[in-house]
Amino acid sequence: MQTRTYMGTVVSVDDQGFFTDPTQWREAMAPEIARQEGLADLTERHWQVIKFMRHEYDEKGTGPTVRVLGKTSGVPIKELYELFPRGPAKLAAKIAGIPKPRGCI
Amino acid sequence: MSAEPITKVSIIISKGSLDGIYPGLIMANGARAEGIDADLFFTFFGLDAIHKARHEHIKMATVGNPGLHFATLLGGLPGVSTVMTHYMSNRMEKLDIPTIPEFIEMIADTGAGLYACKASVDLFGLEKNDLIAQVADIITVGEFYEKAAGGQIIFT
């Protein structure tokens, strides 16, 4: 188990930087995590995806895959990859402070 | 020390059966989901996966497929391949696995490049127009290797 500090708060993460305890996450931490992942600015569309990730995690206990995101987040797959070029589900999960979504499709 | 992460894959799909096409598609889509660059190269009967008239009618191979655990003779009976394809498609739908046309469209949307093999296109007497719109180009094996440079090549 490792820790990182966002907004002056120490949080637990796994070795890839995903939150292991999503309750430690605060919205204000998202821009800082995003910058660390190479995203300079979080637009309204980014936030739509991030909030959807949190919502899905709260409902189902796991984050959605890219396919699910494309079908249900209101952001189509092409745009998801423009918003989060290095893997939308993975990156959005990290920024949203939830564990890495598992699933092959 | 951990191994160098994979940053790029070039996946070749050479078979035209349901079970021959899906694995390559899953690997390409999964690569993109991980932020890995991916290109798909369709050759020989794998071309059916991007053939406008054929990609909605991909069937499961029921002959010469010991994994099905029934007699080869049975697998060759008329209709068996259709029934097995139907069965498999139903199971996939329940798991929310997309159909081949939908999956390929989705993979193109992820930014993966779709390419057709020139030798196979010539062999089957096809033209660019016979292939779905998402196919970026018909390329030679040499061009494939140029595109694949610096990444891993996966043959399915």
- Tell me whether residue A60 is in a domain: yes
- Cβ contact A18:A82 at 8 Å: no
Residue carrying the six token digits 């991980």: B34
- The pLDDT value given to residue B104: 96
Which ipTM was obtained for this model?
A: 0.90
Token digits for A72? 């249900």
- Report the residue of B1, B29, B92 to disrupt the A interface, i.e. the one with the largest count of A CBs within 10 Å: B29
Residue carrying the six token digits 């394809």: B85
Q: Residue B35: which of A76, A78, A86 has the nearest Cβ?
A: A86
Distances (CA, A) of B109 to A41, A80, B113, B132: 23, 9, 9, 14
Domains, chain B, ordered by start: 8-59+99-155 (3.40.1260.10)
- Chain A residues touching residue B31 (CB < 8 angstroms): none
- Tell me whether residue A76 is in a domain: yes
- Tell me whether residue A55 is in a domain: yes
Q: How many domains does chain A have?
A: 1
Residue B72: is its pLDDT beyond 90?
no
CATH number at residue A54: 1.10.10.370
pLDDT digits (tens, 9 = 90+) for A41-99: 999 999 999 999 999 999 999 999 999 999 999 999 999 999 999 999 999 999 999 99
- State the Cα–Cα distance between residues B9 and B100, nearest whole angstrom: 20
pLDDT digits (tens, 9 = 90+) for B75-127: 889 999 999 999 999 999 998 899 999 999 999 999 999 999 999 999 999 99
Residue A12: is its pLDDT beyond 70?
yes
Q: Residue B109: which of A78, A85, A91 has the nearest Cβ?
A: A78
- Chain A residues touching residue B2 (CB < 8 angstroms): none
- Chain A residues touching residue B38 (CB < 8 angstroms): none
- Tell me whether residue A53 is in a domain: yes
- Tell me whether residue A48 is in a domain: yes
- State the Cα–Cα distance between residues B16 and B49, nearest whole angstrom: 7
- The pLDDT value given to residue B2: 73
Answer whether A38 touches B (CB < 8 Å).
Answer: no
For B10, list phi and psi in degrees, rounded to 5.
-120, 115
- The pLDDT value given to residue A105: 84
Quick one: chain B helix, strand, coil %, rounded to 5? Answer: 45, 15, 35
Q: Which stretch, A36-40, A101-105, B36-40, has highest mean pLDDT?
A: B36-40
Domain of residue A86, residue span? 29-95
Answer whether A95 touches B (CB < 8 Å).
Answer: no
- The pLDDT value given to residue B70: 85
- The pLDDT value given to residue B1: 54
- Tell me whether residue A23 is in a domain: no
Residue A20: is its pLDDT beyond 60?
yes
pLDDT average, residue stretch A23-37: 95
Q: Which stretch, A55-59, B63-67, B68-72, has highest mean pLDDT?
A: A55-59
pLDDT digits (tens, 9 = 90+) for B17-28: 999 999 999 999
Q: Residue B33: which of A66, A76, A78 has the nearest Cβ?
A: A66
- The pLDDT value given to residue B66: 87
Answer whether B35 touches A (CB < 8 Å).
Answer: yes
A104 is catalytic: yes
Token digits for B34? 């991980």
pLDDT average, residue stretch B49-60: 93
Residue B65: is its pLDDT beyond 90?
no
| From A1, A10, A104, A105, the catalytic residue | A104
Mark yes or no for CB contact A65/B33 under 8 Å. Answer: yes
Q: Which chain B residue's Cα is nearest to A78?
A: B109
Question: Percentage of chain B with pLDDT > 70?
Answer: 99
- Tell me whether residue A47 is in a domain: yes
- State the Cα–Cα distance between residues A74 and A67, nearest whole angstrom: 12
Residue B55: is its pLDDT beyond 70?
yes
- Tell me whether residue A77 is in a domain: yes
